[in-house]
Amino acid sequence: MSLAEKYPQEIQKIFAKYPPEQKRSAVMPLLYLAQREEGFITKGAMEEIAGMLGIKVTEVAEIVGFYTLYHDEKAGKYRMQVCTDLPCALRGADKFIEELCGNLGVKVGETTEDGLVTVEAVMCLAACDKAPMLQTQGSDGINYHENMTVDKTLELIEALKKSVA
């Protein structure tokens, strides 16, 4: 089902924000809409968006490639993005992610067997003072979880599992 069929009103709302001759500016909100579907952006969705905006599909893809919050590969329902930059590492983020992965039985970048969570190591999320920290990215948006421990994170995952079920 195409985006236009599935989200006619949302698309209309997005387009209303931009002058018609600058409709290509709508590319980013449309990509977020497309990502809501499966947690990543398919080539088909890029083509549809390119068609809506009158630009080349390669131009849409450039945006997807440049911004790290757009994904082009399938992952778990939630991406757990742990900051492992230097200040976080000094506060134990590297050890935290290692233990978290050990508990979940995955490596960094992999998805848990039930398809719920993908653990990712990312660059600075601007919360150095509350490390170890992570953000979850899912269909409900992006949420910060600060001053985390492995136990707290496992509880969070349980809660996520319940909310999905």
What is the binding site for other proteins (CB under 8 A)? 43, 46-47, 55-62, 64-66
To the nearest whole angstrom, how small is the minimum distance from the Cβ of residue 57 to other proteins? 4
To the nearest whole angstrom, how small is the minimum distance from the Cβ of residue 58 to other proteins? 4
User: Among residues 2 and 147, whose Cβ is nearest to other proteins?
Assistant: 2
User: Among residues 25 and 103, whose Cβ is nearest to other proteins?
Assistant: 25
User: Among residues 2 and 103, whose Cβ is nearest to other proteins?
Assistant: 2
By DSSP bridging, strand 78-83 and strand 117-122 are parallel
User: Among residues 65 and 115, whose Cβ is nearest to other proteins?
Assistant: 65
User: Among residues 42 and 128, whose Cβ is nearest to other proteins?
Assistant: 42
| 46 exposure class (CB count in 10 Å sphere: 0-12, 13-18, 19+) | buried
To the nearest whole angstrom, how small is the minimum distance from the Cβ of residue 67 to other proteins? 9
To the nearest whole angstrom, how small is the minimum distance from the Cβ of residue 66 to other proteins? 6
SS (HEC) of the chain: CCHHHHCHHHHHHHHHCCCHHHHHHHHHHHHHHHHHHHCCCCHHHHHHHHHHHCCCHHHHHHHHHHCCCCCCCCCCCEEEEEECCHHHHHCCHHHHHHHHHHHHCCCCCCECCCCCEEEEEECCCCCHHHCCCEEEEECCEEEEECCCCHHHHHHHHHHHHHHHC
To the nearest whole angstrom, how small is the minimum distance from the Cβ of residue 125 to other proteins? 17
